[in-house]
């Protein structure tokens, strides 16, 4: 149905607009100037090349964690564990970066793959428990987040360093950072990872739309019993889905470890990249293209928000409220659809 | 031995009380068929309101302030949870999505308002938090008194009592039967004249009140101020307790007590003979590893209420 497709595009756009309008109202009510607020936001994201570089840097991991949540969603699994998968991926990437001495052509891919494998293992555990024992994946992924956090901190303190809070910087042979990109953007922390993230989005699209594996994964998401009856191995697909999702999130960790920071530090709390990935996936309707677009929007909002307190004295958290409202409106798409239909009928 | 128990049990009760409150709220909501990922956000709202009320009215209400704070936090969080109810019951939103929105919204609002009202990222410390106390008479009982009734927060008992109240309401009253019916088979319940939408609204609002209670008790016993880092994952732990406890109030309480106990181990390990030599990291991850093992091992398949997460559309089959 053509009109259905139109709705699917219209609903996120309307939701984003409603979210921004609501944000303006909140600024107005709290005594701020919404025009100044949004100008500051815009300048903070696109004001000059430095800010644009930083925006791209923020978009990079968002694409990957968004994919991690979206991919699992397509098979009917809710991956709250992207957070933990990011952390172990980050750790693995930096570990390989520090431990091995090799030319870049071997070293960098090895570090990136290590991150993906670490994330995949972190996804495999909830996957196999769900598939073989029916343990709820939500609860296991929540637990795995904490295990990742505490274990990583311990490894940083006692294995990678001698009771320090932060590791050394990885050698250039494992780094995604690029002097060229940094020079281009007034020394922002933008790095080559964006190419990996976009490639990952293409991979997800290809797996989901063009392969039998993707077809089976989606079928399991729609109806496990029917898939089983059609001869598909439900448990294999559940595990596979979580493993691939975990690998995406692990790559997001590599972006931080090899690109943005070049090291890993003891964390007092979660990175929030994984949790934000949930929002990205939801706004992107769990499709590869949608996730990329949603990641761009959230990256812009998050980086732009940093400029809001200096530019317009608006607290950065306004952006969190706007993001929440956008998700809320997307969730309530039924009512938006209903109102749109109403307008259509009256128009006739 | 008594010494060891005395150093383990009061902290265990102390850590688990907020989780018990919130998990009970989760049980109500999920038993009516509304998935509540938003427990985290409801706790954030409760913590925020509890702290702000306490700071603002400490001079007016004196020693009654903490109690009034948690009541106000309950009311505000209950109202806040109506957003989730409207989205997931009336607007037929994906309940997981709506719950995630609640989490983002509560944290955003809380920190935004904190910055606006206090001009900084975190509030001051409250002057009227809850204090530990010895229960008169009962604390004098030998052995048991030392372990269970000395240096305890009253809120810990309130949590355990409420768990039994919740069990009674859900499993022994007509209201509870209706609530569970709506979560198992809404169409059948509707045919029997139960207003599905109304029951689900009530259940979500109860979960809002309980989440607010949990968040404010956490804030006024453990955190003592509000910032973006006050509630970090306790709501998700409560959700885990709901599933671990198989959607049963007493089961959820047991799971929450277990989490609290495991958390207290890492805090007090220095003073306990067997635990002194265990590296801290193992104690820190113990609750989470044990939960996974327990779920994989003896608890087995966790079956959610049949209609959990499915919006009810009148007339659909």
Chain A contact set for B281 (CB, 8 A): 150-151, 153-154
Residue A86 maps to a domain: yes
Q: What is A45-79 written as a DSSP string? A: HHSSHHHHHHHHHHHHHHHHHHHHHHHHHHTT---
pTM for this entry: 0.89
Q: Which two tokens stand for residue B73?
A: 């936090």
Whether residues A99 and A248 share a domain: the answer is yes
Whether residues A299 and A340 share a domain: the answer is no
Tell me the CATH number at A95. Answer: 1.10.3470
Query: Rounded CA gap, A280 and A75, in Å?
Result: 17
Residue A222 maps to a domain: yes
**Contact state of B98 with A328 under an 8 Å Cβ cutoff:** yes
**Contact state of B105 with A153 under an 8 Å Cβ cutoff:** no
Residue B305 maps to a domain: no
Q: B45, B88, B93, B267: which to substitute to probe chain A, counting the most A Cβ within 10 Å?
A: B93
A104-132 pLDDT, tens digit per residue, is 999 999 999 999 999 999 999 999 999 98
Residue B312 maps to a domain: no
Residue B317 maps to a domain: no
Query: Rounded CA gap, B175 and B181, in Å?
Result: 10
Question: Is there a contact between B238 and B26 (Cβ–Cβ < 8 Å)?
Answer: yes
Residue B255 maps to a domain: yes
**Contact state of B285 with A139 under an 8 Å Cβ cutoff:** no
Give the pLDDT band of residue A1 (cuts 50, 70, 90). Answer: very low
Whether residues A14 and A108 share a domain: the answer is no
Domain around A347:
1-32+314-348
Whether residues A331 and A280 share a domain: the answer is no
Task: Quote the distance between the C-alpha of residue B286 and its chain's center.
Answer: 21
How high is the mean pLDDT of chain A?
91
On the CB side of B305, CA atoms within 13 Å amount to 26
Query: Rounded CA gap, A264 and B108, in Å?
Result: 27
Whether residues A250 and A348 share a domain: the answer is no
What averages of pLDDT result for each successive group of 10 residues across chain B (317 residues)?
76 90 96 92 96 92 91 97 92 85 92 91 87 76 74 88 96 95 92 93 97 95 90 88 90 92 76 73 85 75 76 78
Whether residues A169 and A70 share a domain: the answer is yes
Residue B307 maps to a domain: no
For the cut 50, the answer to whether the pLDDT of residue A232 exceeds it is yes
Domain around B234:
2-299
Question: How far away is chain A from the Cα of B277, in angstroms, using its nearest Cα?
Answer: 16
pLDDT of A39 reads: 94
Chain A contact set for B279 (CB, 8 A): 154
For the cut 60, the answer to whether the pLDDT of residue A348 exceeds it is no
Chain B contact set for A150 (CB, 8 A): 281, 284-285
Give the pLDDT band of residue A147 (cuts 50, 70, 90). Answer: very high
Residue A211 maps to a domain: yes
A154 lies within 8 A of chain B by CB: yes
Tell me the CATH number at B188. Answer: 1.10.3470
* A130-to-A12, A78, A136, A242, B36 alpha-carbon distances in Å: 32, 11, 6, 10, 20
Whether residues A201 and A282 share a domain: the answer is yes
Question: With a CB-CB cutoff of 8 Å, which residues 22-81 of chain A face chain B?
Answer: 26, 30, 78, 80
- CB-CB neighbours of A186 under 10 Å: 13
Whether residues A334 and A231 share a domain: the answer is no
Question: Is there a contact between A63 and A300 (Cβ–Cβ < 8 Å)?
Answer: no
Query: Rounded CA gap, A333 and A100, in Å?
Result: 50
For the cut 50, the answer to whether the pLDDT of residue A327 exceeds it is yes
* A132-to-A137, A163, A226, A239, B36 alpha-carbon distances in Å: 12, 40, 18, 9, 26
**Contact state of A150 with B285 under an 8 Å Cβ cutoff:** yes
Give the pLDDT band of residue A19 (cuts 50, 70, 90). Answer: very high
Specify the number of domains making up chain B: 1
**Closest to B309 (Cα-Cα) out of A126, A219, A325, A138:** A138
Query: Rounded CA gap, A200 and A197, in Å?
Result: 5
Whether residues A164 and A275 share a domain: the answer is yes
Residue A4 maps to a domain: yes
Specify the number of domains making up chain A: 2
Residue of A nearest to B85 (CA): A332
Residue B38 maps to a domain: yes
Residue B314 maps to a domain: no
Whether residues A339 and A249 share a domain: the answer is no
Residue partners of A174: CB distance under 8 A and separation at least 6: A93, A96, A97, A100, A104, A107, A108, A110, A111, A258
Residue A38 maps to a domain: no
Helix orientation angle between B95-118 and B39-61, rounded to the nearest 10 degrees: 30
Query: Rounded CA gap, A245 and A228, in Å?
Result: 22
Whether residues A58 and A28 share a domain: the answer is no
pLDDT of A300 reads: 95
Looking at the partner chain, which of A133, A139, A282 has a beta carbon nearest the beta carbon of B244?
A: A139
Chain A contact set for B87 (CB, 8 A): 328, 331-332
**Contact state of A331 with B289 under an 8 Å Cβ cutoff:** no
Whether residues A203 and A326 share a domain: the answer is no
pLDDT of A3 reads: 67
SS3 A232: coil
pLDDT of B312 reads: 86
Residue A42 maps to a domain: no
Residue B306 maps to a domain: no
**Contact state of A139 with B105 under an 8 Å Cβ cutoff:** no
**Closest to B8 (Cα-Cα) out of B236, B230, B288, B273:** B273
């Amino acid at each position: 149905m053509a009109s259905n497709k139109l709705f699917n595009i219209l609903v996120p756009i309307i939701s984003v607009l409603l979210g921004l309008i609501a944000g303006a109202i909140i600024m107005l009510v709290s005594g701020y100037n919404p025009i100044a607020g949004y100008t500051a936001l815009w300048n903070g994201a696109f004001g000059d090349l430095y800010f644009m570089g930083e925006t791209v840097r923020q978009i990079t991991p968002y694409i990957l964690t968004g994919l991690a949540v979206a991919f699992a969603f397509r098979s009917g699994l809710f991956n709250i564990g992207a957070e933990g998968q990011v952390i172990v991926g980050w750790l693995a990437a930096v570990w390989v970066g520090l431990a091995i001495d090799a030319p870049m052509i071997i070293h960098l891919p090895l570090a990136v793959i290590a991150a993906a494998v670490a994330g995949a293992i972190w996804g495999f555990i909830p996957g196999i428990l769900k598939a073989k024992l029916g343990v709820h994946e939500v609860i296991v992924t929540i637990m795995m987040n904490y295990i990742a956090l505490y274990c990583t901190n311990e490894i940083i303190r006692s294995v990678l360093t001698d009771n320090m809070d932060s590791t050394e910087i990885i050698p250039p042979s494992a780094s995604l950072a690029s002097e060229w990109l940094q020079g281009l953007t007034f020394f922002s922390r933008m790095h080559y990872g964006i190419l990996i993230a976009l490639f990952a989005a293409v991979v997800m699209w290809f797996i989901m739309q063009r392969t039998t594996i993707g077809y089976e994964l989606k079928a399991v998401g729609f109806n496990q019993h029917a898939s089983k009856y059609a001869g598909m191995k439900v448990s294999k697909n559940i595990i596979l889905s979580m493993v691939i999702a975990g690998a995406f999130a692990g790559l997001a960790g590599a972006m931080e470890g090899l690109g943005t920071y070049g090291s890993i530090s003891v964390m007092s709390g979660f990175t929030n990249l994984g949790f934000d990935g949930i929002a990205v996936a939801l706004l992107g309707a769990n499709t590869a293209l949608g996730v990329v677009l949603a990641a761009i929007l959230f990256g812009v909002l998050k980086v732009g928000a940093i400029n809001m307190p200096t530019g317009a004295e608006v607290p950065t958290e306004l952006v969190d409220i706007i993001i929440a409202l956008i998700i809320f409106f997307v969730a309530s798409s039924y009512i938006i659809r209903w109102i749109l239909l109403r307008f259509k009928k009256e128009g006739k | 031995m008594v010494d060891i128990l005395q150093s383990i049990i009061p902290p265990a009760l102390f850590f688990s009380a907020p989780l018990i409150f919130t998990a009970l709220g989760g049980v109500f909501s999920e038993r009516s068929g509304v998935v509540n990922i938003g427990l985290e956000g409801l706790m954030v709202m409760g913590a925020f309101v509890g702290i702000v009320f306490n700071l603002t009215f400490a001079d007016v209400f004196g020693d009654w302030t903490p109690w009034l704070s948690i009541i106000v936090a309950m009311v505000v969080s209950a109202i806040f949870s109506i957003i989730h109810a409207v989205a997931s019951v009336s607007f037929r939103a994906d309940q997981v999505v709506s719950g995630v929105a609640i989490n983002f919204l509560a944290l955003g609002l809380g920190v935004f308002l904190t910055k606006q009202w206090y001009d900084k990222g975190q509030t001051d410390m409250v002057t009227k938090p809850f204090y530990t106390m010895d229960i008169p008479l009962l604390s004098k009982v030998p052995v048991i008194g030392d372990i269970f009734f000395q240096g305890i927060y009253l809120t810990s008992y309130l949590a355990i009592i409420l768990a039994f109240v919740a069990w009674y309401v859900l499993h022994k009253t007509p209201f509870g039967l209706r609530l569970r019916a709506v979560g198992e088979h809404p169409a059948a319940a509707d045919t029997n004249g139960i207003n599905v939408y109304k029951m689900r609204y009530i259940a979500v609002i109860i979960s809002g009140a309980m989440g607010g209670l949990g968040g404010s008790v956490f804030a006024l016993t453990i955190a003592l101020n509000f910032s973006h880092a006050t509630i970090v994952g306790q709501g998700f732990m409560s959700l885990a307790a709901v599933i671990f406890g198989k959607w049963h109030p007493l089961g959820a309480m047991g799971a929450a007590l277990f989490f609290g106990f495991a958390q207290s181990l890492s805090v007090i390990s220095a003073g306990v003979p067997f635990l002194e030599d265990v590296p801290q990291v193992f104690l820190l991850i113990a609750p989470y590893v044990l939960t996974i093992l327990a779920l994989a091992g003896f608890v087995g398949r966790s079956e959610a209420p049949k209609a959990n997460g499915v919006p009810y559309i009148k007339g659909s089959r």
